[in-house]
Chains A and B, each alone.
Chain A
């Protein structure tokens, strides 16, 4: 079945970088876009943006420009989220979520299990 499996939890110092992976299985990565969603502790879900997995073009939500980069390695069916110059407020669970297979992909499904990134010295 179609599935997204994310990399494990990360503990990073402020100022460091982190790269979260999201491996797709059960379908061809480049057929559907990939979205990234953040959930800070005790907070709601926040759409960070998406990457067109066919062209590699990323689109970032306004709050996620500058330190956030979406990328792909299609040879291993994996999408990546890299965050640089980490701050304490980047502490959150990060989810990848595929763009839906219908209606122009304007919805999310399936979802990865989430990756907890903790930024602390």
Chain B
């Protein structure tokens, strides 16, 4: 069974830039996996940030961007702010209507 991998945790300084990645236990992520990214703060429902690799969802600041870097999908936050401290999840489309979440990355801004 294919596992979607994410860094368990990451830290960034306020104003800094951080890139979170989303990979596969076997194989490379491409745009055909339609990678999407979600932000979740404690006690809240997830919020859609990026879909279809690099399309920002409505209302998402342009300091959030998505891309393919090497063999992984990536979420880059430029100019990190304190309220970016959240859990970030990626989702990959595996075909036949099936989607899989990554394990999530806990981002600390300090």
Contact = CB atoms under 8 A, between A and B. Distances in A.
Contacts of B91: 47, 107-108
Contact of A109 (B51, B93, B98, B99): B51
Is the contact region of chain B dominated by helix, strand, or loop, or is it mixed?
A: strand
B19 interface: no
B97 A100 contact: no
A35 B89 contact: no
A103 interface: yes
A107 B48 contact: yes
Interface string B1-33: 100000000000000000000000000000000
A108 B98 CA distance: 13
A59 interface: yes
Interface string A92-121: 000101001011101111111110000000
Given A45-B38, A45-B104, A47-B101, A106 B45 contact: no
Contacts, number: 71
Interface residues of B, number: 26
Interface of A: 35, 37, 44-47, 50, 59, 61-62, 95, 97, 100, 102-104, 106-114
9 contacts: A35-B99, A45-B40, A45-B104, A47-B99, A100-B36, A102-B55, A106-B36, A108-B38, A111-B46
